[in-house]
Structure 1
Amino acid sequence: MEEPSLSRLVVDREPEWLRVKDNVSSAMYKVMETRLATMPGGKDGEAAKVMRKELESRLGKIQEKMFDMSKYNLQVNGQNYENYVEATEGFDESLDRHIWALQVERTDWESKTAEKRKRWPEMFYGVEEDLEMRRTDVEWLPDENDGKEENKLQPKDIPPPERHEEVKETFKVVVDNLAEVVKSAPIQLQRAQRAQTVREEISSLPP
């Protein structure tokens, strides 16, 4: 008794099947990145980098074998897909590699974009705060040089103090008196020395 043959999955156009393959590849790649993120150092650590190369190689082989097996269960545009693929094998292989490369590039771009979205708000806040502080300084803090030229008085503009002439005259008298004292000081010193000598001689006389 012959076993009943399994019906094939009917696909109207090949791009629809290629889109399914792309989605499967994307899902497998995301699962791989999720697992790598749990390794020491995260998904960008050295351990993850080494493991990523090995996993990408193995996933590529698994996908190739999986998609090769699936073509015997497909019917595309009324044709068995294994025959359809054989007629366009070179084109499909190139397209599949191109799709995979684009998927890797898109995933990397999404990862970098997500990282930037985390950092940029904090960076923008810091710049905004710095600009606000600078604006406040400009608005409220006067320049140190402001008004210096206007407030700087010339000597001729300063009025003399009260009793200026009287002070000048008194100072002149004091200076003259000091000059007389300096001039007469040697004479007064000699007189004092003589008086001291006479006092000592009188003290030494017998009673």
Structure 2
Amino acid sequence: MDACREDLPKVSIETEQDWKRIQNNLSEALSARLDKELESRGNPGDKEAILPHIDQFLETLFDIARPNLRINGRTTDSEPTQDDDVEPFDEALDRYIWSLSDQRLKWDKDVAARRRTRPKEVERLISDTLAQHDSVELDVAQEDPTYDVPDKPFDPEPQEVFSSAASLTAQLSQSISLQHERAIRAKSVFQEIKVLKS
């Protein structure tokens, strides 16, 4: 899952217009700084000679910055294409979905670990409880000679228990339909008797 994400996070920008606005703001700030610096040095005429170099610097700067941006959830390694059919990407929703996915994987791992360990813990607890119960019965039998230690109950095979339960289920389903029919007949007879009495 983490392999899908980038190793280094990219700067997220909502729209292409925001990126253009950032570029314009940077160009204007650099131009204003250049004007101020040239005025302080007393060479305002040098601006025309320096301006092509500044434009080239800004173009190189924006070209270097572009691969490190994500505009509307898309990487910007190439020039943007106008896609009107594509729905805007929701960065916050994407982060929320990734966090939910991480949390789900953590819970699945926790449940799997519990499935491996809990049955053994329950088995150990039951066997300890049965051992304590047997020891208490023996202690009572030693203290009171008239106490009869009950025999251990017969533990039938699971297949026998299942087959008897299955046969009882079949009998019960037949019995239920028969009893239901009897109840309906009894209601109709009761209604007839009620009508005859009045």
User: Which TM-score band (shorter chain)?
Assistant: 0.3 to 0.5
Which structure has more RCO (C-alpha within 8 Å, separation ≥ 6)? 1
Provide TM-score, normalisation by structure 2. 0.36
